[in-house]
Amino acid sequence: MSKLLEIADLQTHFFTAAGVVKAVDGISYDVGQGETIAIVGESGCGKSVSALSILRLVADPPGRIVGGSIRFEGRDLLGLNDEEIRKVRGKDIAMVFQEPMTSLNPVLTIGRQLTETLEQHLDMTHEQAVARAIELLGLVGISDPKRRLKQYPHHFSGGMRQRVMIAMALCCEPKLIIADEPTTALDVTIQAQILELMKDLTRRLGVALIIITHNLGIVARYADRVNVMYAGKIIESGSAHDIYHHPCHPYTLALLRSVPRMDQPRRARLDPVQGQPPDLARLGAGCSFRPRCGFAVARCASEAPPLVRVDGGHHLAACWEAARVAGSPVEAA
């Protein structure tokens, strides 16, 4: 499978009064055609910034992409001028944001917001655009789409707005959709509806998907590959099976152990990840997970471990003690 998106050593830094915040600190991964990739991490680990960097949507100042490359179908997106990148946004790569409440324009009808993109990017006439918009709303499961087109976002519930966002993302038949916490603001039954819809549509239309989330459960069902981020770096990468059954980084292991799980007998106590998430403006030398790590050795304080292969396949981890971590069971007692 040829690679659709290749990210190499991407570095996005924020230049703030408190110092340089290395929100994304040298991450590399690629996305194949039609593949679903998950990026998992806690707030502040740089997962959203890494996605915004792909479309060059990071506010500058204070943020700036200071290094690396992002190749989409062989083209370096970082080398494009403003006009060229605007043509990529929405057309080749679309984005679905977390907040369906704030990412739609409240004073324009749903129909106008959908047809605008179609007329701009695909040079459709207004009539063609309306017909396509009706088709798209039907595709994402909105009943009576013709009437719905004339309504405003406040007439729609949260789940319905997220469906509209997905329709907008699909309208130019993009090759890649980046979904940043697409279901975090939604209720659990609606979340299941939206995720099934996204999985179904991306499979059917052959669209690649990057899902950014903090929810380990969501990722398990939908992702082909999972990248776990911590403090601006990918610390583990592998198939969903590798990550959930054979984690090789202490952070992944600790995260899996810390959540109460519906699929396992109830435990008497949870094993939390100790300590606080790090301050990205004040990272020291060595591994940034070291202060919270139960596996840390002397070397971790001085040398940051590189992301390296831990098996014969594509399972990568950035830990000096990966072999010891791999030997620990995921189910904590």
Partner 1 sequence: MTATQSTETAGRAAAAVPAPTGAQDAALEQRRQSQRRLAQAPDLLTVRNLKMHFPVAEGALLPGVVAHVKAVDGISFTVRKGETLGLVGESGCGKTTTGRCILRLEHPSGGEILFDGKNLVDLDRKSMLALRQKIQVIFQDPYSSLNPRMKIGEIISEPMMVHRTEPNKAARDARVMELLRLCGLDPRFADRYPHEMSGGQRQRVGIARALSVRPEFIICDEAISALDVSIQAQIINLLEDLRDQFGLTYLFIAHDLSVVRHLCHRVAVMYLGKIVELAECDELYGNPLHPYTQALLGAVPVPDPDMEKARAYRIVKGEVPSPMNPPQGCVFHPRCPLAIESCAKNVPELRELRPGHWVACSVI
Please identify which residue in 126, 150, 241, 309 interacts with partner 1, judged by CB under 8 A.
Answer: 241
Q: Going residue by residue from 155 to 184, which x/- string records binding to partner 1, judged by CB under 8 A? A: --x-xx------------------------
Burial 137-152 (b: 16+ CB within 10 A, else e): bebbbbeebeebbeeb
Instruction: Identify the residue whose tokens are 């990057």.
Output: 210
Q: CA–CA separation, 203 vs 54, rounded Å?
A: 22
Q: Which stretch binds partner 1 (CB under 8 A): 80-88, 169-177, 263-271, 301-309?
A: 263-271
Helices (H), 108-261: 110-122, 126-139, 145-148, 158-170, 188-205, 216-222, 240-245, 250-258
Please identify which residue in 240, 283, 304, 326 interacts with partner 1, judged by CB under 8 A.
Answer: 240
| Number of residues in contact with partner 1 under rule CB under 8 A | 58
According to the binding rule CB under 8 A, does residue 125 interact with partner 1? no
Phi, psi angle pair for 32, to nearest 5°: -85, 170
According to the binding rule CB under 8 A, does residue 152 interact with partner 1? no
According to the binding rule CB under 8 A, does residue 309 interact with partner 1? no
According to the binding rule CB under 8 A, does residue 283 interact with partner 1? no
Q: Which stretch binds partner 1 (CB under 8 A): 8-16, 51-59, 75-83, 255-263?
A: 255-263
Instruction: Identify the residue whose tokens are 């703030």.
Output: 16
Instruction: Identify the residue whose tokens are 């590959």.
Output: 225
Q: How far is the CB of 252 from partner 1 (least distance, A)?
A: 11
236: burial class by Cβ within 10 Å (0-12, 13-18, 19+)? buried
According to the binding rule CB under 8 A, does residue 189 interact with partner 1? yes
Reduced 3-state DSSP string for 290-315: HHHCCCCCHHHHCCCCCCEECCCCCC
Q: Which amino acid is at 234?
A: I
According to the binding rule CB under 8 A, does residue 19 interact with partner 1? no
In this structure, is the dihedral angle defined by the CA atoms of residues 262, 267, 269 and 270, taken in order, positive or negative? negative
Encoded tokens for 77:
């997106």
Q: Going residue by residue from 201 to 220, which x/- string records binding to partner 1, judged by CB under 8 A? A: -------------xxxxxxx
- Return the residues of window 38-57 that contact partner 1 according to CB under 8 A: 42-43
Q: How far is the CB of 40 from partner 1 (least distance, A)?
A: 9
Q: How far is the CB of 320 from partner 1 (least distance, A)?
A: 15
Q: State the residues that interact with partner 1 by CB under 8 A.
A: 42-43, 157, 159-160, 187-193, 195-196, 214-221, 223, 239-241, 244-245, 250, 254-263, 266-274, 276-277, 293-295, 328-329, 331-333
